[in-house]
Amino acid sequence: MPTSLPRRDFIKFLAMWPLFTVWPPPEPTLGHTSQPGGHRLPNILILVFDTFSAYHIPFYGYRRQTTPNLSRFANRATVFHSHYASGNFTTPGTASLLTGTYPWSHQALHIQGTVLEEFRNKNIFSLLGEKGYFRIGFSHNIVATSLLDQFRLDIDNFTKTRELCLVDNYLADRLFPKDFTPAVHGESLIFRRGDTYSSSLFLYEVYRFWTSIQMKLLTKQYGELFPRGIPNNHNLVFMLETAIDWTMRQLEKAPQPFLAYMHFLPPHDPYTTRREFVDRFDDGWNPLPKPFHPLSDSQPDQRLNQKRREYDEYIAYADAEFGRLYDFMDRNGILDNTYVIFTSDHGELFERGVWGHITPVLFEPVIRVPLLISKPGQQKKQDVYTHTSCVDILPTLLHLSGINKPDWCEGEVLPSIAEEKPAAERSIFCLEAKSNSKHAPLRKRTVSLIRDRYKLVHYLGYKEYDDIYEMYDLNDDPEELNNIYSSRKSVASDLQALLNEQLIKVNRRFK
C-alpha cells in the first residue's frame, strides 16, 4: 500500500480545502449580523398573541402562574422586561411592529385603520424580501389582516383569516379582494360588527338568525370543550389549536430562510378559555384597588376582578397552545436555526374603572407587553431591563439579516443584539389617537413618554380632561398610583420639553 499522497489526490484535496473552512458552521451568536457571500440567513418566526399584557405573566412579576410554557421558553431566550407597544390597541401596535415607526409616522391610528401609502414598501416584509426571505403572514384579527393586506404584494404566503376559522362570515375578501379595507368597513356597517346599528333594515335580522343557528351547531359540537363559548371575535369563530397546527406545518415545509408573522387572537376578549382552564384561578385574589380615572367608564372593581380572572384563564389556554408549538419546534430542531420572537400588540387593563384596551388611558398593563427572543440554539436565559419598544423589532431583524437601518425607521436595534451599547437614556413613546383625524395635527390624543425611571403622560382634547399631565416614577411606584407631576417639577419640565419637541416635529407635516 503506497504511503505517499499521489499528486492528483493532493490537488483534489486542495480543491476541497475551502469547504473545510466553512464546515462545521460557526456557533451562532445573538449578535451575528450580515451574511457576506450569500451565507445562510436565519429563519425568523414572529409570534404575536393579541392583547397579551406583560402584567399578567409570572416572570414579569405576576402573582398567578398563568404561563408555565412561556416560562420554559423564557429559560432559553432573551427576556425584555420593559418592552412597550406603541399604542393601546391592535392597529397602531401591529403597524409599528411591522414598519418600525411610531403611530404618528405610519398614521394607522384607528380601528381597522391602515398605514400611509408610502409604507407599502417600508415594512418588514418588503425589506426582508430583498434578502430572499420566503414571507408568510397570517392574522386571526381582522384588524391586523387589513394591515397585512396592505403588504400582501410582499407576502409570499398570505393566508386568509377564514382558512383557519371554524366560521367566518366575512364577505369582503371573497367578493372585493381588490378593495379589502373599505369593503370591510362597509360590511361591518351592514352586519353591525361595531357599536352602531346595522345599516340593513331587514336582512340583518336574517343574517343574525343564520349566525345564531351556526353558533348553536358549533356549540353542540365544541361546547363541552369551551364551556364559556367557542373563541370568537367579530363573527369569526376559531380554535387556536387549528392555527397552531397550521403554524407547525408551515415551519416544516416553508422554504428557508423564512420570515413568518403569525398573529393569534387569544387572549383577546371574549375570554373563552378551554375547559381545563375554567376556574383555574378561582383563588379569591383581588389586586390592590385603584381609584377611578376621570377618563374611565367606571366599571366596578368586582366586575374588573371577575374579568381579570377570566382573562388569566384565557392566557393559560393560549400558553398551553404556545407550549405545544414550542415543544414541536424543540423536537424538530427549529429552535436551532430560527429566531423565535414572542410578543404582543398591546395589553389589557382591569383597573381604575377601565376594562379592556379601547380606552384613552395608557397605564402600564395596557401598553407593556412581553418580548422574548430566542436566538438559534440559545440555551440560557438572558434578561434585558432597558426600555424597548415594538418599533425596535424591524431594525433588529434588518440587523440580523445584514441590512442597515433605513433613515425613516424610528426604532433601534434591540440591546443584546446590537454590537454597541444602547444609549443610556432613550425615550419610548406610546400614542393613543383614535379620535384624531389622520389628516390633521394631533389635537385629541394621549401620549406617553417613558425615559429612565419616569413616565410622563399627556392628555389633550378630552372633555373635562384637557391638557392634563400625569407623571409616575416606574421604579418606586410601578403601580402608577402617585402622580408626581406637580411634586417633581424639574424632571417633569425636562420630559415635557422632550415630548413637546417630538410632537412639534410630528405635527409639522400638516403645516
Partner 1 sequence: MSSPTSLDSLRRSSEPLCLEELLKEHRLPLISVYRRIPSRRNIVYTYLACLFPIQVWSVYNLLREVPAWLRQMSVWDVIGVVSYPQTFALFESAVIFLPFVLLSALLPRRWLRDKFVALTTGIVYLSAAWFILAHINDLTVRYWGFSQFLPWMGLFLSSQILCCFLIQYSEKLESVILSFVGRVAVLSLVYLLIDLISLTILVIRNT
Residue numbers at the binding site for partner 1 (CB under 8 A)? 109-110, 113, 176, 178-179, 181-183, 185-187, 189-190, 192, 196-205, 208, 212, 435-439
Taking the C-alpha atoms of residue 113 and residue 115, their distance in angstroms, rounded to an integer, is 7
Residues whose CB falls within 8 Å of the CB of residue 274, separated by 6 or more in sequence, listed in order = 225, 226, 317, 320
Shorter beta-carbon distance to partner 1: residue 116 or 474? 116
Tell me whether residue 171 or residue 403 sits nearer to partner 1 (CB atom): 171
Which of residues 153 and 203 has its CB atom nearest to partner 1 in the complex? 203
Which of 190/498 has CB closer to partner 1? 190
Give yes or no for a contact between 457 and 496, defined as CB atoms under 8 angstroms apart: no
Distance of CA 390 to the CA centre of its chain: 8
Question: Minimum Å distance from CB 49 to partner 1?
Answer: 26
Between CA 285 and CA 68 the distance in angstroms is 19
Q: Which is nearer to partner 1, 63 or 443 (CB)?
A: 443
- Shortest Å distance, C-beta 215 to partner 1: 11
Radius of gyration of the chain (CA): 24
Closest to 265 (Cα-Cα) out of 36, 47, 4, 7: 47
Task: Residue 163: name the closest of 148, 173, 176 by CA.
Answer: 173
Q: Is 62 exposed, middle or buried (0-12, 13-18, 19+ CB in 10 A)?
A: middle
Q: Got the DSSP string for 51-110?
A: T--GGG-GGGT-SS---HHHHHHHTTSEEEEEEE-SSSSHHHHHHHHHHSS-HHHH---S
Cα–Cα distance measured from residue 42 to residue 375, given in angstroms and rounded to the nearest whole number: 9
Q: How far is the CB of 168 from partner 1 (least distance, A)?
A: 18
* Cβ atoms 394, 411 nearer than 8 A: yes
Q: Give min distance, CB of 108 to partner 1, in A.
A: 9
Order across the sheet with 232-233: list the strands.
165-168, 236-238, 232-233
Output 196 or 486, the one with its CB closest to partner 1.
196
**Phi and psi torsions of 184, nearest 5°:** -65, -40
Q: Choose between 110 and 307: whose C-beta lies nearer to partner 1.
A: 110
Nearest distance, CB of residue 117 and partner 1, angstroms: 9
Closer residue to partner 1 (CB): 112 or 161: 112
CB of 396 to partner 1, least distance (A): 29
- What is the number of residues in the chain? 511
Closest CA to 129 of 408, 403, 410, 341: 403
Q: Residue 435 Cβ, how far from partner 1 at the closest point, in Å?
A: 8
Residue 305 CB, nearest distance to partner 1 (Å)?
Answer: 24
499 contacts 456 by C-beta, under 8 angstroms: yes
Q: How far is the CB of 197 from partner 1 (least distance, A)?
A: 5
Closer residue to partner 1, CB minimum distance, 199 or 332: 199
